[in-house]
Every structure is written in structure tokens, then in C-alpha cells.
């Protein structure tokens, strides 16, 4: 069942003659985890804002749970259904206490106070930050701040979370915390996740990878299908996971392993089998 649909989508910014997206088509299935890849300027972040109704199509349509984002009367409901997490968590943290910050969106949606308490606690537990609920966000690490920002979206009870490079500003520990949170939201809570990233290891964890180039879809498939297109990705200036790079080069050198391996455990298993 589709939860987001972009149909004949065309978009450009007012001060630009260049179209960011033109006759663009994409369908996202409910409960899926999709990674969006592409260079800066490929249209990924614009697409995220179009999904959320921050930007509106010049032509074509975007539907969220069947709701057309061009219908102003539905924008609040659309944003409740499709939450957006940005690269810098500091841009989304508005209160001096963590639980107050997570409560901010439900309060503005008019959720009854008793339910807000329940939503805040559930959201913080969901991202593993409940024990920090009475602390100030300013005392948290980057990864912890991003998890609180995600909790603020989760408290709205969305069907979809779109994350626009949420780990770009984080250290390896923070990236791991955030990626584990995204996987938990998707697999344990059934929230549809759309992750925009330049990190190929993160993309390899998704169910589906969509590669964008100049406002169009270049490749669309499972991580295995996409990263097996090693030469094409390299020609367009994109990378592959490090393990995939290693397995490809071993395969090219005549070593009897698959050319597209996505995990270290799988590569070790194939090497040990040969040895």
C-alpha cells in the first residue's frame, strides 16, 4: 500500500529558471525504509520538503496518505502524517528541558494534556532518551540531540518520517545511535522511513535505495541491486559501501567471492570458505 506518491512532479525555486524536478515519479510503500542518494543539487532535499508540504509543486502532485499537499486545508494533517528531521538538530530544539521540547509539537496540535504526557514518554522511550527527559538539550552530545529531535517528530504520531542527512554533522558514535533509532522506528513501530544520506553504509541498511541525478531517478532497487552497479555509480561520482568496494576489488582480482557484498560478516564468511 502506497503512503507517499509523487506524480508528474515539477518544481523550481522562484528565483531560478532551472527546474529542480521535472515530471518526477516516485511511490513509497507504507512501512518501508527507503534511502535517497545523490549529489548535492540532485533534488533530494527539495523532494523531502515537498513530501512535508513545506514546498509545493509547480506542476504535478504529491500525495501523503492520499492527501494532496496543494490542498491548504489539509496541510496540518499532512505534516502530522509526515514528519521531517533536518541535518542540524539545534535547528529543531526549542525548549530548555528535553521533555518540554518533545511536547512542543503535540501542544501546538491541540493534543489534550494527558495524552501529551503519554506521547512524550513513549517517544523518548522509543529513541532511548527517556532517562534524560529532565535535562537540558544543550548538555547532550550531537547524536543524543538528534535523537531528541526525532522524538519530537515521533510524538506527533506520524506515519512517515523523512530524515534529511540526520547524521552528517555527527561523529561515528552519534551516527550509530541515530541509525539504530531509525531502524527501531521502522522495524519495531512500523513507521515508514525515508533517509536522505551521503553515507553508503547507512543506505545499505534500507529496504530500497533510490539514486537521484539532476532531478531524475537514475537507479531504483534493493541495496544489493544498486551497489552491484559499481561502475555506473563510480562514473556518476557516487561511492559504494567500503565492504562492497573491497569485495568488488577482490572479485576483479580473481578471488572467488561475490562482487557485491554489503556486510563484513558476509565477506568474512566467504573468505573463510575459500581458505
What is the domain class of 2-222 according to CATH?
alpha beta
Tell me: the pLDDT tens digits for 101-113?
A: 999 989 988 889 8
Confidence of residue 14 (pLDDT cuts 50, 70, 90): confident
Question: What value does the mean pLDDT take over residues 126-130?
Answer: 93
What is the structure's pLDDT at 92? 86
Give the pTM: 0.93
What is the structure's pLDDT at 273? 85
d(CA 199, CA 185): 19
Confidence of residue 204 (pLDDT cuts 50, 70, 90): very high
- Whether residue 122 contacts residue 185, with contact meaning beta carbons closer than 8 Å, is answered with no
% pLDDT > 70, the chain: 100
Q: What angle do CA 145, 149, 155 make, to 5 degrees?
A: 140
Closest Cα to residue 46, out of 29, 22, 71, 17? 22
Query: Over the chain, what is the mean pLDDT?
Result: 93
Q: What are phi and psi of 208, to 5 degrees?
A: -145, 140
Domain segments of the chain: what residues? 2-222
Amino acid at each position: 500500500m502506497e503512503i507517499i506518491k509523487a506524480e508528474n512532479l515539477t518544481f523550481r525555486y522562484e528565483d531560478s529558471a532551472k527546474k529542480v524536478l521535472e515530471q518526477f515519479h516516485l511511490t513509497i510503500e507504507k512501512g518501508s525504509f527507503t534511502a535517497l542518494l545523490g549529489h548535492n543539487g540532485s533534488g533530494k532535499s527539495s523532494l523531502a520538503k515537498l513530501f512535508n508540504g513545506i514546498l509545493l509543486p509547480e506542476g504535478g502532485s504529491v500525495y501523503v496518505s492520499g492527501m494532496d499537499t496543494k490542498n491548504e486545508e489539509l496541510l496540518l494533517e499532512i505534516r502530522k502524517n509526515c514528519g521531517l528531521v533536518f541535518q542540524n538538530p539545534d535547528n529543531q530544539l526549542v525548549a530548555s528541558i528535553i521533555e518540554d521540547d518533545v511536547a512542543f509539537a503535540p501542544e501546538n496540535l491541540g493534543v489534550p494534556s494527558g495524552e501529551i504526557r503519554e506521547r512524550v514518554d513513549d517517544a523518548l522511550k522509543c529513541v532511548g532518551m527517556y532517562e534524560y527527559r529532565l535535562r537540558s538539550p544543550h548538555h547532550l552530545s550531537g547524536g543524543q540531540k538528534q535523537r531528541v529531535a526525532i522524538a519530537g517528530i515521533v510524538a506527533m504520531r506520524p506515519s512517515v518520517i523523512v530524515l534529511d542527512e540526520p547524521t552528517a554533522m555527527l561523529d561515528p558514535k552519534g551516527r550509530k545511535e541515530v541509525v539504530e533509532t531509525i531502524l527501531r522506528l521502522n522495524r519495531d513501530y512500523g513507521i515508514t522511513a525515508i533517509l536522505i544520506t551521503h553515507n553508503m553504509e547507512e543506505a545499505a541498511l534500507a529496504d530500497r535505495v533510490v539514486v537521484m541525478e539532476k532531478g531524475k531517478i537514475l537507479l531504483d532497487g534493493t541495496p544489493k541491486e544498486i551497489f552491484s552497479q559499481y561502475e555506473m555509480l563510480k562514473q556518476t561520482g557516487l561511492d559504494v559501501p567500503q565492504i562492497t568496494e573491497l569485495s568488488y576489488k577482490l572479485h576483479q582480482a580473481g578471488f572467488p567471492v561475490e562482487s557485491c557484498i554489503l556486510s563484513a560478516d558476509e565477506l568474512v564468511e566467504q573468505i573463510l570458505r575459500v581458505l
